[in-house]
Amino acid sequence: MSGLVAEVREALSLPAPAVARAIREAARVSQARLAEELGVHELTVARWEAGTRIPHGDLRLSYARLLRDLDEAARCAQGNGAPA
């Protein structure tokens, strides 16, 4: 059950749209590249970052994980944090 709880926490930890965009930009990743990684259209990512749509289910979990990893990578590259 701990795996399930961890997945739920991760999915619920999706940052606000403006923060998600800031994370992506700090990591120097385009909307197109992020969309490709998640298997969605670039317009979908743009809508998530604008706050007009939100991801659901497995896609929400994948997006939350990817944003967390991008944030960690960007912070480490800038010397503002260490990997967890």
**What residue spans define the domains of the chain?**
2-77
Which two three-digit tokens encode residue 14? 């999706």
pLDDT digits (tens, 9 = 90+) for 22-68: 999 999 999 999 999 999 999 999 999 999 999 998 999 999 999 99
For the chain, list the strands marked E by DSSP. none
CA distance 15 to 62: 13
Contact 65, 23 (CB under 8 A): no
- Gap between the Cα atoms of 37 and 1, Å rounded: 28
Taking the CB of residue 20, how many other CB atoms lie within 10 A of it?
22
Separation CA 55–CA 53 (nearest Å):
7
For the entire predicted model, the pTM comes to 0.82
Domain 2-77 in this protein, CATH class: mainly alpha
Confidence category of residue 84, pLDDT binned at 50, 70, 90: very low
